[in-house]
Amino acid sequence: MSPAVIAEAPSMETTTIIYSQALMLLGGAVIAAPLFKRLGLGTILGYLAAGILIGPVAQQITEGEEILHVSELGVVFLLFIIGLELKPSRLWQMRRDIFGLGTAQVVVTGLALSFLIALSGLLEGAASVVAGFGLALSSTAFAMQILEENNDTNTRYGQRAFSILLLQDLAIVPLLAIIPLMAAQAPEDTTTPLQDFAIAIAAVAALFAAGRYLLNPLFQVIARTGARDVMIAAALLVVMGAATMMQLAGLSMAMGAFLAGVLLAESSYRHELEADIEPFRGILQALFFMAVGLSLELHVVAENLLNIMIAVPVLMLVKSLVLYGLCRASGSRHNDAVRIGLLLPQGGEFGFVLFTAAAAAGVFSQATASLLVAIVTLSMALTPVAAMLSRRLMHQQDETAEEIEENFEGAGADVLMIGFSRFAQIASQILLAGGREVTIIDHSAARVRQAATFGFRIYFGDGTRLDVLRAAGIEKAKIVAVCTQKKEVTDRIIDLVHTEFPNARVFARSYDRQHTLELRARGVDYELRETFESGLLFGRKTLEALGVNGDEAIGIMDDIRRRDEARLVLQEAEGITAGRDMLHSRPVRPEPLVKPKREVTHPADALPGNVAGSETLEKTE
């Protein structure tokens, strides 16, 4: 056998092993995730179970820790996408939850767990502090995955939970910094804490400067080429480059990716970046959960089974109680506090990093680190169960969103209707009666199935996703009708449509008067408050029941509609308090009620009454 063949053989064998391992991981994910989802346990637990079965049980993959290091990029990509959704102004609005509630959770939970660990005699002194604060951190990947699956990311409790997670991710920096001070031997690092802090600040400043002056011009140049594959490569480069820069500065990769996302949140390319990164994030995050299962040391679990059986429920109970108490004290309702408390009771992926660093520095033994990792892993595995338990503890059970397959075969019509609430159901009847084709998408599986039984052409999909809008035929639609219920979801869809499809005509359902003014400022082609016309009709019918003749009641209703439009025009220019004199606060004189005449020159009737005002309103309606 020639030397070349001998040299080539190990390489080919290594490649075959990598392919077979990748095949096992993909197969495990494809089988376990849908199965556990069907059983109501969630995809996360499915990925964990698949990893445990492939690794510790079947011993098919033994390099779980190496895979875990690679799959942590899934968490990095997740935080980048989260950052894209958080504009700096929104972060400033969340500052109380982040630095108030988040800091309180880490400090109170860390001290409580440190005390319990020291009291139990498992660890003492500095070791108990590191273990307690490491266990106080929760899993961003697990919690955000559950929020996304339940479509709760933009809810009040979802935002508060994210604020706590964000502070925890930031807390890993000082926790890692104090480990050398607690080490049994002198650390190898020769720099002072002040120098480390200066390096970290310089890295963050450099990242902000690059985001402000380099990233947008870079994406503009790439976008002009029309090369989509290059845009994807650039997106990956930005995320991994920012993460690596923060890591070299002594901060976490996740923090770097998050900051990069925040810097691009105001960019016109953020939706494109999110669509490009999403597939990589999903695959790597699934791989992360499987790698956690692969790295679980079953012999450590077996040898310390009693300790683990006590430690895991105590950990989850303490964290849940602290979270519930802090959330209630800071103004959350019972239901939201219960949800947060049972969403974040687990240990986190950054705990793995902290415990590994502590063991390497001699703060405690490697066996102790393995035990703590096992406790964190099992608490992660129980998180979906805890999240489901929250529904039983809430005062009023909320409706949960069910996931079904996205299938847009046959989509594409004159009107793309996003959201199929009661408002949209009525509007669609007018369009269908007029002989127009309507493509409807909605993110509620139950509503999709119910509407399909009545013959509607409705598809399951999230209207805030660019790929879903394209698949639903938005490029063929003459009008995009945004009929979603939540104000923030409506705004997000409209911003996405205006950015990606600037020529699309947008008709929108408005939540209230303030939302109407915001939608007009966004440049929608038409908006309508969800209760306005029904309220007018209700009032007119009430007048008729009180003895006012039909024509007169209709005239009064039309006058109120004109007055309302005139007020909106004023409010667009002068603010929400403008036009208050146009409101009827008492019965119109003389009685009985009469239709306002054109010659009236009172300021309250000027716009809706005189000829010039009527012409102005006719142009705006």
* Dist CA 432 CA 313 (whole Å): 56
Q: How far is CA 168 from CA 135, 140, 331, in A?
A: 11, 9, 20
Check if the beta carbon of residue 390 is closer than 8 Å to that of residue 339.
yes
At position 183, the amino acid (one-letter code) is A
Give this prediction's pTM.
Answer: 0.52
pLDDT, tens digit (0-9, with 9 covering 90-100), for 306-360: 888 899 999 999 999 999 999 999 888 888 899 899 999 988 877 877 887 787 7
> Phi and psi at residue 438, in whole multiples of 5°?
-130, 125
Check if the beta carbon of residue 356 is closer than 8 Å to that of residue 293.
no
pLDDT, tens digit (0-9, with 9 covering 90-100), for 11-55: 566 667 677 777 888 888 888 888 877 776 667 778 878 888 888
Please report which helix (H) or strand (E) contains residue 439, including its range: strand 438-442
DSSP string, 27-74: HHHHHHHHHHHHTTS-HHHHHHHHHHIIIIIT-S---HHHHHHHHTHH
- Burial of residue 253 (CB within 10 Å: 0-12, 13-18, 19+) is buried
415-582 folds as Rossmann fold (3.40.50)
Check if the beta carbon of residue 243 is closer than 8 Å to that of residue 83.
no
Please report which helix (H) or strand (E) contains residue 441, including its range: strand 438-442
DSSP string, 322-379: HHHHHHHHTT--HHHHHHHHHHS-S--HHHHHHHHHHHHTTSS-HHHHHHHHHHHHHH
Q: Which of 463, 457, 400, 470 is nearest to 428 (CA)?
A: 457
* pLDDT for the residue 621: 33
* pLDDT for the residue 593: 46
* pLDDT for the residue 112: 93
Q: Per DSSP, what are the bridge partners of residue 439? A: 416
* Dist CA 72 CA 67 (whole Å): 9
Q: Which residues of 4-31 are buried (b: 16+ CB within 10 A; e: fewer)?
A: eeeeeeeeeeeeeeeeebeebbeebbee
* pLDDT for the residue 13: 62
Query: How many CB atoms neighbour CB 41 within 10 A?
Result: 16
72-184+214-393 folds as Na+/H+ antiporter like fold (1.20.1530)
* pLDDT for the residue 602: 41
* Dist CA 439 CA 486 (whole Å): 20
Q: How far is CA 49 from CA 41, 43, 468, in A?
A: 11, 10, 30
Residues of the chain with pLDDT under 50: 1-9, 185-187, 397-406, 590-621
* Dist CA 480 CA 415 (whole Å): 6
CATH 1.20.1530.20 residue ranges in the chain?
Answer: 72-184+214-393
CATH 3.40.50.720 residue ranges in the chain?
Answer: 415-582
Write out the two tokens for 316: 């989850």
* pLDDT for the residue 115: 92
* Dist CA 328 CA 314 (whole Å): 21
> Phi and psi at residue 165, in whole multiples of 5°?
-60, -40
At position 285, the amino acid (one-letter code) is Q
